[in-house]
Chain A
């Protein structure tokens, strides 16, 4: 019997080592797997490359990881926000490296990794600072920039429900990067509000098929929160 569920967040992140590249789902705090990140901080690994849309909001999630000094490099589209003070301080102190990527290119490069593509040509960013030094090509009269896939050792994502085979459904705009990060990482760890029996997820409505998910952990409170908010 295959059961991808692990006992707790600490067990879920136990294989993550120093220097790992880690995709983290979430757009701002929606879909941010806070408990998995807390477990990663507790585990004590550092020198991490983090791929996320933002660079932390407030005191939790990616912000807490940066505050703890565990991030060497961050790949994201929108680091500077009103509540990104931990990133701002670390960046200005030269403690972390930033690769800024237009949001759609970030999504496309993550998707390309998951789909096994060698690279993509994208019109986004052509003629701007973010395309400087990159190969370009005119295709059908439109100018494109060559961009490479973004792979990662791990993806930490948050979904609404899972079954023991790792099939996932999400909740509202907390879905965001979860489905494509699950495809792009070698090992995907999903924290979910609830693990249900096989067959209880409508197969027509499964968003992430279990083949893309290696570990599932139920985090008490997430489902309750979601249910209360629904």
Chain B
């Protein structure tokens, strides 16, 4: 079966981010999306530790450890970028000013519930960071993940079994096999990787999937 690799997934997400969008890319896999944004267009990357207009990583040796992203990696600031404190940063999310947020996930339900912060396993030390604020704050929350776990279990589920990050907050899921819209009416396949059928996706996920209406 054809599958997108992680860079191809990132490139696919990047295609759906329009010029002028204010965007937060979550820690981990979503960070890769930045590598595929068209540098000829103005897209404003926000990092919740207090910068807007985030640029790429600095050259080795040029790191300034007071200029970092939410993953605590050294970054740069684009001309026109700015700094702000944490309450303003989260007001950008919770206040609905951010257009798009892209997050990783352990599970997403067909109704857009998200689980991405805690496995709930005994002994696991929980850490939530900004995940709950990001999930419910942005105008649109995208998830980017492999459709199946390494054990072959679907991460798109009828109902999340991991502890929730937010209820009904995800609108779109980009995976290695297909792109889905999720919400009140359930999951819908928007596009598939070449050679993957809706029947195959239903078999893999075990959830009902309505095909996208023809354009």
Contact = CB atoms under 8 A, between A and B. Distances in A.
Nearest to A102: B132
Interface in A70-85: 77-81
Interface in A123-182: 123-130, 170-180
Interface string B163-187: 1111100000000000000000000
B135 to A, nearest CB: 8
Interface in A212-230: 226, 229-230
B146 interface: no
Contacts, number: 140
Contacts of B136: 123-124, 126
B132 A124 contact: yes
A103 B66 contact: no
A7 interface: no
A128 B163 contact: yes
Interface residues of B, number: 39
A177 B88 CA distance: 10
A196 B108 CA distance: 53
Contact of B49 (A30, A110, A122, A229): A30
Contact of A108 (B68, B83, B87): B87
Interface residues of A, number: 50
A127 B129 CA distance: 17
B65 A125 contact: no
B51 interface: yes
Contacts of A171: 66
A46 interface: no
A225 to B, nearest CB: 9
A107 B93 CA distance: 12
B126 interface: yes
B64 interface: yes
A105 B66 contact: no
B68 A177 contact: no
Given A104-B133, A124-B136, A226-B66, 6 more contacts: A27-B50, A91-B125, A107-B85, A130-B132, A176-B49, A180-B87
23 contacts: A27-B68, A28-B68, A57-B72, A78-B128, A79-B125, A88-B125, A101-B128, A102-B128, A102-B129, A102-B131, A106-B86, A108-B87, A108-B94, A124-B136, A128-B166, A171-B66, A172-B64, A174-B66, A175-B50, A175-B84, A175-B85, A177-B85, A229-B66
Interface of A: 27-31, 53, 57, 77-81, 88, 91-92, 100-108, 110-111, 122-130, 170-180, 207, 226, 229-230
* A-B pairs, 9 with minimum CB distance: A104-B133, A104-B90, A102-B132, A103-B130, A80-B127, A78-B129, A229-B64, A107-B86, A174-B66
